[in-house]
Structure 1
Amino acid sequence: MFLVNSFLKGGGGGGGGGGGGGGGGTAMRILGGVISAISEAAAQYNPEPPDMEVSATELMNILNKVVTRHPDLKTDGFGIDTCRSMVAVMDSDTTGKLGFEEFKYLWNNIKRWQAIYKQFDTDRSGTICSSELPGAFEAAGFHLNEHLYNMIIRRYSDESGNMDFDNFISCLVRLDAMFRAFKSLDKDGTGQIQVNIQEWLQLTMYS
């Protein structure tokens, strides 16, 4: 959470009194877009861990404090297992936490996907129904076949086929990570990859 609070405070996390001037201004310019998006509530979370990364528990607290400010989004809240999965698929260096660039990338995606979620919730139910889902995913940049949509609905939607906000975000985080992982392995751009058992297990188990 030190990382998140550093965004909100303009850098200069724990040093003495004299170091705040130029460094803080530079950090504010670099992080301005991220700062404006993060909830004030997230800045009040304590205690701060002595590192520059965001854990699954910290991510859960941030997201749940933010969604409480949006009553139009139907959600049961972000659970710890969901946040562990989100951290895992974003955690490129397998530290178990999100570093600066990883968190910034995730946060920018969440902002964009939240806007898409609201746009395609045409009946204002607070959820995305099965008929609204393909349009929402295509707007997010993911073009899937009908079989994949049906699989996603069974995995992330309720019995009526409605997907709430936390499941929508969780699904898109995983989908985005899987696309990026595939592209990194598809060196020749053929649309096909070969993986050995260890690579396959690494892709599927830590996610």
Structure 2
Amino acid sequence: MFFLKKVVGGIVDVGADFWLPDWCISNLRHVSVPQPPARQPAVYAEKHESDEEKQFRKVFQQLAGDDMEVSPNELMNILNRIISKHGDLKTDGFSIESCRSMVAVMDSDSTGKLGFHEFKHLWNNVKKWQGVYKQYDADHSGVIGADELPNAFKAAGFPLNDQLFQMIIRRYSDESGNMDFDNYIGCLVRLDAMCRAFQTLDKDRNGTIKVNVQEVMESKISVDSSFAVTSLRVGCCHCSGFS
């Protein structure tokens, strides 16, 4: 088993190759990152839903089609249809690879698609983060500049230390440090998934977890390793011990 603890540089070492940011742990008790509810049989779910949920389910049925699940390709079409109606959002559009990654980190039951509650969790986050994006696009350029980004991430629920912020800038911003809408959303989806994965594993809520390799691979910490490793990695591997 790998024992995880805070290490120098604001990074937590997860096993041999996976890291979590310091803010994700230190703020676990203060930042609410709810898990999508477990799936329920359709008949049971519909019977116990509020009027708002029933209305959203009707919309979901139209978007998801007969199988009642949203595939990466369907998600790409949905998101690009949304942003096409907002000319004030500068974006290259959501790519299929980006949507595959988002589905992977949101797919709690490993079907390769998003069910109703998984999609609703993502949908609500995208709506909330879209509002934050517009709020912090202070110069109305359609992108968030490097000087606006720290507060934009904080307002979205993810305060970043400077080291992690610089890594995210290198991964998700253009050469001028500006971040467009699809990169902003893609980054936040991954941060949200990593925090939810850590919260699930941190059963004692004490900021440390013990995991074996299988648990790391099954958690959303390891999904999209280009973000978990390339964007968050600092220095060499530091394993704090085995048990």
TM (normalized to structure 2)?
A: 0.67
Residues in 2 aligned to 1:32 and 1:175: alpha-carbon distance in whole angstroms: 29
- Segments of 5+ residues of structure 1 without an aligned counterpart are 1-23
1:13-71 deviation per Cα after TM superposition (whole angstroms, max 9, x unaligned): xxxxxxxxxxx9x97923367479x7xxx95x7xx753111000000000001100000
Partner amino acid for 1:91? D
- Percent identical residues: 61
1:105-157 deviation per Cα after TM superposition (whole angstroms, max 9, x unaligned): 10001000000000000011111111111101111111221111111111111
Q: How many residues align?
A: 178
**Aligned partner (choices 163, 185, 201) of residue 169 of structure 1:** 185
- Segments of 5+ residues of structure 2 without an aligned counterpart are 1-45, 225-243
User: Quick check: 1:159 aligned with 2:159?
Assistant: no
Other-structure match for 1:136: 152
Residues in 1 aligned to 2:91 and 2:162: alpha-carbon distance in whole angstroms: 25
Other-structure match for 2:165: 149
Other-structure match for 2:108: 92
Partner amino acid for 1:108? N
Q: Which has the higher contact order (CA 8 A, sep 6+)?
A: 2
Other-structure match for 2:20: none
How far does residue 196 in structure 1 lie from its aligned partner after superposition?
1.4
Residues 51 and 140 of structure 1: is their aligned pair in 2 closer, same or farther, counting only changes over 3 Å? Answer: same
**Aligned partner (choices 58, 61, 66) of residue 74 of structure 2:** 58
Residues in 2 aligned to 1:35 and 1:75: alpha-carbon distance in whole angstroms: 28
Structure with higher strand content? 2
Partner amino acid for 2:137? D
Residues in 2 aligned to 1:76 and 1:116: alpha-carbon distance in whole angstroms: 19
Other-structure match for 1:201: 217
